[in-house]
Structures are given as C-alpha cells and as structure tokens.
Amino acid sequence: MSLDPQIAAIIEALDSGFPPVHTMTGEQARAVIRSRFVAPAEPEPVASVEDRTVPGPAGPVPVRVYRPHARADGPLPTMVFAHGGGWVFCDLDSHDGLCRAFTNGMSAVVVSVHYRRASEEGRWPAAAEDVYAVTAWVAAHIDEFGGDGSAVLVGGDSAGGNLAAVTALMARDRGGPALAAQVLLYPVIAADFDTASYRQFGEGFYNPRPALQWYWDQYVPSVEDRRDPYASPLSAEDLSGLPPAIAVVAGHDPLRDEGLAYVEALETAGVRTVCRYFEGGVHGFMTMPSFDICQRARTQVCADVADLVAGIGATAP
C-alpha cells in the first residue's frame, strides 16, 4: 500500500498539527477548529450562494444554498449535504469549498446543512433528525430551489456521511422523501475501533483513534444506542430498498474497513452501489484541494452523480 506522494510529503506535519480534541469539551474543540479556519481569498465562483433557514425538529436549521455557475436548462438535481467534523465541529464555512466544487461539477443545487452539533448543542439523534428534516423539507419545496423532484440526493463526508446514510434509512422507513442517491464520502458507519484499518492507521495518519472514539462519546455516549441503525447504519438488519449509493473510501483511513463493509452490505441487499477506492488517500482528503488526489476524487464523484441522474432521466416516463 502506498500513501499518495503529495500527502506523504506533509503527513507528519498534518498529523502533528491535529489538535488533541479528545482532551477538550465539544465547545473547546469547536473554538480551536474554528480559529484555524482560513477562507480562501478567491473561492470558486458559483451562480449564487444564499444563507437561509428551514424548519427543523427543534427550531430553524441554518442552510446554505449553492447554485451552479454554468447550468443546463430545466430543473436541476438537488443534493442535501451534511458536513463532517465528528458531529462536533466544522460548519457551513469549513465545507464551503467542497460544496462550491460539487454544485459546479454536478451542475446541481447543493443545500449544505448546519445541523445541531454534538455535546452542548445536542446529542444523538439530533444531527440525524435535522438532516432528515431538511431533506424532507427540500423535497417538498423542490420548486423553490429550481430542483428536479426525481433527483433529490443526500450526501456527506465523514460524520456527515453517517448522517447521509442515516437519512437514507429514515426516508425509507418513514415513507419518504424519495431519494435518487446517497453520496457517502469516507463515512463513519460503525462504532468499531478494532478493525484492521483502525489498527493500521489509527496513529500517524491525521485522524487518530482517540479523536474518533471521542467523537462517538460526544454524539452517542451510550454503547447500547450505538447499535441503533440510525447511529451505526452497518447495524441495520435490512438495507434493501435504499437509494443507489456512491461511496468514496480512502485507503489510509481508520474508517476504511467499515466503509468497505457497508459497500458490501449494500450490494448484498441489492442496492446499486458504486465504490471509488482511493488507495493513497487519508481521511478528509476531499477537503484538501491542493492535492491532485482530491481533485481526481471530486471529479469522479461529480461524474458518478451525473451518470446516475442521466439514468433517471432515461428511465423517466
């Protein structure tokens, strides 16, 4: 196995610079991560960016709506996106660059969700219920977004990938909304910290095991609750009837094995699944735009979404 050369050149600096969030409260971790955020001087141009709120189970949920710079005529695919950050930190700003790349690359509306984060703001299932509520609301008001009602997707990275997978389960179990796809970028899928990939990459690869365990402690402190499919989708007894999945797995990620296991479980359940495996990637690499592997992965995911949406159009009555 080989780490991407561009990442390998700075992995020690990346790893040593990761703050010891497992020694902090959620509020402290949010403050530290936020203080390190530097917005790009020239963000990727898009047609429009709008901050607004939509109704949620505990009050209004902030969202950021992106529309693509160049677009085809007619309604657009619409992806509700949940950012990563261990359910504890990151926000609409931290994932602004990725959402801009996706709205242009997919020629889709992207609705980024600022869900309630763990610890002081709300524990499980608060974040999942927020993302589901936004997804249901967007689907019900798709005309407001210039969206295509047959092409509503849910996506997310890391902990946001967990929320996207859980939203797909909730939508199936609750009778809607109908989703065209779930886009899962190196998702958190199970609370198992003793897989081969955890043992291999839980130290020295930027996303350390103590931090990953701490994320679960903040969001789902109860071991019993962690067995719930709405916390750990890999625990679901039945994955049939879910929307098609596009999954990205990083080869040097503690979460590699649970991601691959979920891909296998989805395929076994008859869910159409595309897995894009990036051997040289570390956790979070798709939010590192200076790396070529990040750009390749973004391009691939956008192409996969475009192919899926084109297939929906081809089969529409």
- Residues known to be catalytic: 158, 253, 283
The DSSP code sequence of 30-93 is HHHHHHH----SSPPP-SEEEEEEE--BTB-EEEEEEE-SS--SS-EEEEEEE--STTTS--TT
Rounded to whole angstroms, the Cα distance separating 216 from 231 reads 10
Q: Distance between CA 6 and CA 21 in Å, rounded?
A: 26
SS3 for 191?
Answer: coil
CA dist 54 and 288 (Å) reads: 29
Q: What angle do CA 306, 312, 317 make, to 5 degrees?
A: 150
Is the distance from CB of 188 to CB of 201 less than 8 angstroms?
no
Structure tokens at 262: 């979920």
Tokens of 298: 């973004």
